Amino acid sequence: MITTTHTTVITITTDRAMRTSSLSFVMLTVFASAAAGQATTGPIVNAGGPTYSVANPTFETPMDRLYKAVFELRAPAGSPDRTNQNLNTMARYLNMHARAGVPREHVRVAGVVHGGASLELLKDEYYQAAHGVDNPNKDLIAEIIAGGGQVILCGQTAGSRGIDAGQLLPGVQLALSAMTAMTVLQQDGYQVILW
């Protein structure tokens, strides 16, 4: 009986402590969010890629380095009328480094696309045939490419899905395979960003 009472007291104390900790965490999150401000797009990509300013980071971002990142895009967006989050992340990569002051010529990004994400590289007429809506990724892709990025489609995926180069959005490249593109980009100093 004493053990049961003791256990109950500990449980009540633990519940109170958890509620207090949870409330403190929520309050801290609210205050941190208010202090952080709003995410904004640009200066390279305005169709997506919102980032937050980071005042006085304690991990230095050297301005004389080359920031070359490659992302693998295989999964499509959750809905045909939404942009692919990996494309959005590529835009964020460009925007946040530019906003931090890294010279534009020092930042490069590439997206190697295969599998279900391949349809997101199609011109509107072909995307509409597959999904019934305009391609929501087209402006994002155009601005990534204009900002010095590369969007590369796996040729093996294209072949297996009946996609030819004429169906692709302007500037999208066609590789022999995603594996080939990933190998070449890594040999050229691109770092694979895993999400």
Digit-coded pLDDT (tens) for 26-55: 333 333 443 457 999 999 999 999 999 998
Q: How far lies 17's CA from each of 5, 21, 58, 124, in Å?
A: 18, 6, 32, 55
Does the domain made of 67-192 have the CATH classification 3.40.1260.10?
Answer: yes
Q: How confident is the model over 78-105, as pLDDT tens digits?
A: 999 999 999 999 999 999 999 999 999 9
pTM for the complete prediction? 0.79
Provide the residue ranges of all domains of the chain, joining segments of one domain with +: 1-36, 67-192
